[in-house]
Amino acid sequence: MKISISMLPQPEGLQQHSTGPARTNEFVHSDGQRPVDMKPRCNASLKGWNKIYCNVCQPISPKFSYFRSFKTMALLEVNNLGISFTSEGTRFKAVDGISYTLERGQTLGIVGESGSGKSVSALSIMGLIPIPPGRINSGSVLFNPDNQQAVDLLKLDESAMRSYRGNHISMIFQEPMTSLNPVYTCGRQVMETLLIHRDITKKEARAKTIDLFNEVKLPRPESIFKSYPHEISGGQKQRVMIAMAIACNPAILIADEPTTALDVTVQKSILELLKSLQQKHNMAIIFITHDLGVIAEIADEIAVMYQGKIVEHAVSNELFNHPKHPYTKGLLACRPRLDKRFEHLPTVGDFMEESSRSALNLFKEIQDEQRKKNHEKLYVQAPVLEVNNLQTWFPDKRSFFGRTKEWVKAVDDINFMVYPGETLGLVGESGCGKTTLGRTILKLIDAKDGSIKYKGQELRNLNQKQFRRFRKDLQIIFQDPYSSLNPRITIGSAITEPMNVHGIGKGRKTRREKAIELLHRVDLSENHFNRYPHELSGGQRQRVCIARALALEPEFIICDESVSALDVSVQAQVLNLLNELKREFNFTYIFISHDLSVVKFMSDRIIVMKDGKIQESAEADELYRNPQTEYTRKLIEAIPE
């Protein structure tokens, strides 16, 4: 017998749900067919109904039902949450009246750019909003783990909140290196959580920690238990954080950007781990990210946040197939596509501004024939850079007398050429040697052996004084703009300092004018000249680093993971800027990244590296269409769709 909505009692308080998921999409069979008599009468929030089954399948997909017993509550209900902060005497809204519910076993994705309020809303659930300068203006966060009496987490004092934090609700923070204590071993930090919330001995806590390390699939659990955070990789640190978060079997796991800046293969393994742990422990997950491609892999429902508000909320498939809000459409469009190559990546701003939407028709697709003609002109030139048999090794183990017994071969017998005006992509997982290779070319790291020729000049034979005249032509944009800018000097000083060193510009006034001109060129204003790095966003800091590199009028720039930690929308803006600058100044790039979709968009050719060696090299589109090695196929398969 099929069940119709009309057969169920009407719950009280039925309200139109303007931004919630379209409930019609939940009434589908597991094969995607929709029973016609299960269509609700309106797009409404139907809180308090029992699970609905049809006559041919399991509970309505996705894997849980939003329709609950009229006498029960959701595991978590966020109602009209408003949060503000005071900065320099001005109060601004970080979260503006958002509402959503979370069921046990459900994954809710919250997506948006930096500053949209997604992380702040999650921190309020954990009771981690600093008051002052923060303030809860309105709303409630009702937590009901035992289906009896709900607790408003916003009304608990710190002592009461401590019994919930880490025990019933846990959080995986964005940056594991800064979240883990560098002076304690990984094992001790996980044990601490168990000893606080569980009545167990240290011996039992140690055994449980080893079990958790096995559960999150850490290699050598006993060894990592004794290791410090700096001694393990980024992916392993994230697994330690996950082990800590699930140690007390929480009802809710909040994952705040848990895969940002990780390799695509490590990212994929972390997502698979979270899904398997959720199924095992029946946890609810709030997954926060700026990347809709990542969230598609894990979320049942998605809430899109913009300027502190939820502007769209839908079942995952519905949101991806039929996005409604311009902001959502922009987030979906600005990630580089693998099946097409555009001259210009769409950005969120193109979709948000009415005047710009007609310009979307101007985003031209680059045809294969056009690329082929460009490459024919490119590769008849003499190479600007030649690298032959390059080796960069680091000592790993030494004897009692200090002699090196074993080496880490970070760059091992590398050969390639780069041509004027070309963008050569270097792609591979962390530890493959791509960053070491880039820094070796610039003599920031000494090579053990091999040859590096720039315009026919052997660079390895030059001392630092002789090499200084080449520094002007060879520049680098580092991965983390915050750590590569001096926090004690202004943006203007950061840009003019290299000009002072290399004698570019006549006098202070001329250099200031050139610095302001460069700020305008990277879409910043004169107002940024006297600001400090901490006063800028991540995307703005990266633009400053680009302006600083341009200050010396270089010919060859190495971009080392220069967009890996940026929002996808800001990433699109920076990638467009780099391509515009390349066309304007005829730059030559080596573009280093772990993200093959970004490298493919930027590059003429791609080199794939693993364990210090080149796995394969090919024209960018051809490498994606026809990878020759299993490792390259693995990188391509790990890209979120």
What is the token pair recorded at 55? Answer: 């006559």
Q: What is the pLDDT of residue 88?
A: 67
36 and 96 housed in the same domain: no
Q: What is the pLDDT of residue 100?
A: 92
Write out 96-162 in H/E/C secondary structure.
EEEEEEECCCCEEEEECCCCCCHHHHHHHHCCCCCCCCEEEEEEEEEECCCCCCCEEHHHCCHHHHH
Q: Cβ-count burial of 605 within 10 angstroms (0-12 exposed, 13-18 middle, 19+ buried)? A: buried
222 and 112 housed in the same domain: no
Q: What is the pLDDT of residue 641?
A: 65
Q: Looking at the domain assignment, is residue 593 inside a domain?
A: yes
419 and 497 housed in the same domain: yes
Q: What is the pLDDT of residue 424?
A: 95
Residues of the chain with pLDDT under 50: 1-71, 355-359
Q: What is the pLDDT of residue 79?
A: 92
Which residue from 102, 100, 88, 94 is spatially nearest to 137, judged by alpha carbons?
94
Residue 172 Cα to chain centre, angstroms: 14
160 and 180 housed in the same domain: no
Q: Of 72, 105, 132, which residue is a domain's last?
A: 72
Which residue from 596, 573, 640, 576 is spatially nearest to 113, judged by alpha carbons?
573
Q: Looking at the domain assignment, is residue 367 inside a domain?
A: no
Q: Looking at the domain assignment, is residue 365 inside a domain?
A: no
The predicted-structure confidence for 294-308, as pLDDT tens digits, reads as follows 888 888 999 999 989
Q: What is the pLDDT of residue 17?
A: 37
Write out 582-627 in H/E/C secondary structure.
HHHHCCEEEEEECCHHHHHHHCCEEEEEECCEEEEEEEHHHHHHCC
Q: What is the pLDDT of residue 478?
A: 84
83 and 52 housed in the same domain: no
Count the domains in the chain.
4
Q: Looking at the domain assignment, is residue 101 inside a domain?
A: yes
Which residue from 234, 229, 285 is spatially nearest to 259, judged by alpha carbons?
234
Q: What is the pLDDT of residue 14?
A: 37
Residue 165 DSSP symbol: B
Q: What is the pLDDT of residue 30?
A: 37
Q: Looking at the domain assignment, is residue 344 inside a domain?
A: no
The predicted-structure confidence for 365-385, as pLDDT tens digits, reads as follows 788 888 888 899 999 999 999
Burial 357-385 (b: 16+ CB within 10 A, else e): eeeeeeeeeeeeeebeeeeeeeeeeebbb
463 and 608 housed in the same domain: yes
Question: Residues 472, 552: contact at Cβ < 8 Å?
Answer: yes
Q: E strands within 349-384? A: none
Q: Looking at the domain assignment, is residue 450 inside a domain?
A: yes
Q: Of 20, 41, 72, which residue is a domain's last?
A: 72
473 and 577 housed in the same domain: yes
For β-strands 556-560 and 169-172, DSSP reports them as unpaired
Q: Looking at the domain assignment, is residue 590 inside a domain?
A: yes
Kindly report the CATH number assigned to the domain that includes residue 317. Answer: 3.40.50.300
184 and 143 housed in the same domain: no
Domain that includes residue 236, residue range: 176-249
Backbone angles phi, psi at 605, to 5 degrees: -125, 160
- How far is it, in rounded angstroms, from Cα 329 to Cα 351? 7
Q: What is the pLDDT of residue 450?
A: 93
> Is this model's pTM higher than 0.75 or not?
no
For residue 171, count other CB atoms closer than 10 A to its CB. Answer: 26
Give me the DSSP letters along 485-508: S-TTS-HHHHHHHHHHHHT-SSHH
394 and 526 housed in the same domain: yes
Question: Residues 205, 195: contact at Cβ < 8 Å?
Answer: yes
Q: Looking at the domain assignment, is residue 393 inside a domain?
A: yes
410 and 552 housed in the same domain: yes
294 and 438 housed in the same domain: no
Q: Of 318, 333, 348, which residue is a domain's last?
A: 333
For β-strands 15-16 and 90-102, DSSP reports them as unpaired
142 and 286 housed in the same domain: yes
